[in-house]
Structure 1
Amino acid sequence: MSAPQAAPSQSVRSIVLSPGKFWGLRRMADGGGRFKMLAVDQRPPIKNRVAEARGEDRSRYADVRAVKRALMAALAPHATAVLADPTYALSDAMTVLAPHHGLVVTLEDSVFGEGRDGRLSKAIDDWSVSKIKRAGGDAVKVLTWYHPDQDAASRQAQLDFTKRVGEACARYDIPFLLEMLLYPLAGDVGQTKDYVEQAGKRTDHVLKTVETFAAPDYGVDVFKLESPIPAKDVPPPGDAATAALFAEMDRLAGRPWVMLSAGASQAAFRNVLHYAFDAGASGFLAGRAIWWDAFQHFPDMAAMEAALSGPAADYMKELNALADAKARPWTGWFDDGIEGLPRPVGWESEWMQGAYADLEGRL
């Protein structure tokens, strides 16, 4: 695919932020409006590695929970927000995270369904947007497996699932953070069900996916995006063709977005972030690129915790400094102010008008 021409980012006035969504995004970012978010919601990658290290067929619940607690304890102090799953991490996040940390909660089950030639996302049993809101979450995260060439029925199921989540997030006034990952179709080389970046992915497939879910039907507030080319192939900063691809992704996203690491190496993810930040990304939401090397010490928890507090924390500080220097604050998408604060209606509206007028004035 030929590289599209870079287009300058523009303030997007068509996005309406209600007070709840605005406050949730503030909670997820630092004071400068940049997202430096730690992901510990991974389930199969951690569970599989834990079982392998123990020489067992299945991971132990206590082991997976202990690993996630250690990740948060060591690395959350360097994050603005943490992405946690309800099954293993959320209960410990309530006590490990500091009051100033944002809390993003994942909704999708790690066990996805199978269509004829496509993956089908679903919510974790007994979890919903409303439950995440009641649990104190500042945002809802969903991974929607998607491929533009998957069979029509699977594709429509994914679109419908995402739309329902977006509608629920609007109903409960909580930010919707959407992650999309391409995956190999049944006949593709490198077919796998692992949560990894597709080795042979096509740039046009990545960009088409972003364009599809940027439609207002899906109610996305923040995108969690993968590199438009395999992370290992991203050159050091300065390549014009690569920069143009990231700029096109920014244009198609049309709202705040962050980069995911998808298991990329630390060097590769560093390169990815340079291009993403230059294009307009507002930060990162990453896990394995930060802590995977330290995790390899499991089941020696002392060695793992030392590596998390040392090299892993140092790498995260490096990413934070890069974000401070180059990332675009999420508020930059609303250079003329936040619009769309709903006004109260009915008998109580008269006495509330003063409070809403003051709130709008502050924004």
Structure 2
Amino acid sequence: MTITPGKYWRMRRLADDNGRFKMLAMDQTGPIVNPIKEIRKTDKAPFADVSAVKSMLGRYLAPKASAVLVDAPYGYAPTIADIPARTGLLIGTEWATWQTLETGRKSSNVPGWDPSVIRTIGGDGVKVNLWYRADASEDVKQHQLCYLNGVKKACRENDIPFILEYLVYPFPSESQEEFLAKRIELVKGSLADKAIMDPEGVDVFKLEPPTETINVPDPDGPEASKIQARFDDMAKDLGRPWVLLSAGSTPEDFVRLLTYAYRAGANGYLAGRAIWLQPFSNFPDISKMEKELSETAPALMDQLNAMTDEMATPWTEAAPWNGKVEMAPGGETFANDYSSRLAAGF
């Protein structure tokens, strides 16, 4: 398997020195911004509040991560000074910029932001949170597919890794209870959609657990084989490295979910809420939140990182690469070949 020089170098930066992804997400809208709006009783979360939270996440947790995921509007400026220079940087093209319809959600970029800007500002990878349901209306699905293909093309032209996260979601007419009752089937439906799961142009998949995210069965218990089969089935035809997201699970549940994922060949994690949601729940008591972020959350990341070291598969050994990742172009003609390919948009 060959990989272009820019993607090859930046994939190495997103992973640790042994090729495993230990990535911290702190770009979330709902889990951070919405609670702050409710507490402050404002239509828009004050930038000072959001930036204070994200700054602390970067200060106390980024040093434990191989890479961090930040958003452009609220995350980059407050956190960049506290992110270690060795730590990889993921930036999303979208952030609370989707259009909500009765039949689905349509994604769009943060105005003025695309892979070229992300590369210019120092990003090592572009992440897209693609809202997707196989039962959405055709116009919504076509919009999402067009958006996805546009980001893939821009990442290829800028020679920067593309990390694709798809998330299922409730329609406006669905209650939370109705949505949760069908979430697992919706995840399966998205995975079965060949257009949206086409690995061409994708460098890493960020995937939802294909099972319950609370009260997760013990990986060594009587229900383990059923849950493991779901993860194995999800992973078998991906054709790219993949990481697991925490989906709002508790730390204990996320450890169990990661165990299943690593047994299925996952190459690491890209998670946020399972790591920092409990400390953040102390907001607006900043001192109490900071105490937990400095004491409890880093210890949890140490636990996650230790099991990642022990169980995760390095990205260079993921199917279809199997340890044979080579940079191309290379060799004696590298300088001329690369400039020519870059000019042609690869």
Q: Normalization by structure 1: what TM-score? A: 0.85
Give 1:155-174 correspondences, 5 Å limit. Answer: 155-174=141-160
| Alpha-carbon distance, 1:350 to partner | 5.3
What residue in structure 2 maps to residue 151 of structure 1?
A: 137
What residue in structure 1 maps to residue 281 of structure 2?
A: 296
What residue in structure 2 maps to residue 226 of structure 1?
A: 208
Match status 1:80 vs 2:76: no
CA distance in structure 1 between the aligned counterparts of 2:210 and 2:334, rounded to whole angstroms: 50
Give 1:1-363 correspondences, 5 Å limit. Answer: 13=1, 16-190=2-176, 199-211=180-192, 212=194, 213-217=196-200, 219-238=201-220, 239-333=224-318, 334-339=321-326, 341-342=328-329, 352=335
| Alpha-carbon distance, 1:45 to partner | 2.3
RMSD: 2.3
Q: 1:350 to 1:258 in 2, by over 3 A?
A: closer
| Alpha-carbon distance, 1:52 to partner | 2.6
| Alpha-carbon distance, 1:337 to partner | 1.8
State the secondary structure of the residue aligned to 2:237.
helix
Contact 2:317 2:324 in 1 (8 A): no
Contact 2:282 2:288 in 1 (8 A): yes
Contact 1:210 1:252 in 2 (8 A): no
Per-residue CA deviation, residues 110-154 of structure 1 (Å, 9 max, x unaligned), is 131034401011100111110000000000000000000110000
One-letter amino acid of the structure 2 residue matched with residue 317 of structure 1: D
CA distance in structure 2 between the aligned counterparts of 1:351 and 1:322, rounded to whole angstroms: 39
CA distance in structure 2 between the aligned counterparts of 1:223 and 1:125, rounded to whole angstroms: 24
One-letter amino acid of the structure 2 residue matched with residue 81 of structure 1: A
Contact 2:209 2:247 in 1 (8 A): no
Per-residue CA deviation, residues 81-105 of structure 1 (Å, 9 max, x unaligned), is 0001111111233311111100000
Aligned residues: 332
Q: 1:114 to 1:310 in 2, by over 3 A?
A: same
Per-residue CA deviation, residues 278-297 of structure 1 (Å, 9 max, x unaligned), is 10111111111100110112
| Alpha-carbon distance, 1:191 to partner | 7.3
CA distance in structure 2 between the aligned counterparts of 1:29 and 1:350, rounded to whole angstroms: 28
Please list every run of 5 or more consecutive structure 2 residues that lacks an aligned counterpart in the other structure: 340-346
Per-residue CA deviation, residues 45-71 of structure 1 (Å, 9 max, x unaligned), is 211211233344432111101110011
| Percent identity of paired positions between Structure 1 and Structure 2 | 41
Per-residue CA deviation, residues 3-26 of structure 1 (Å, 9 max, x unaligned), is xxxxxxxxxx4xx42111111110
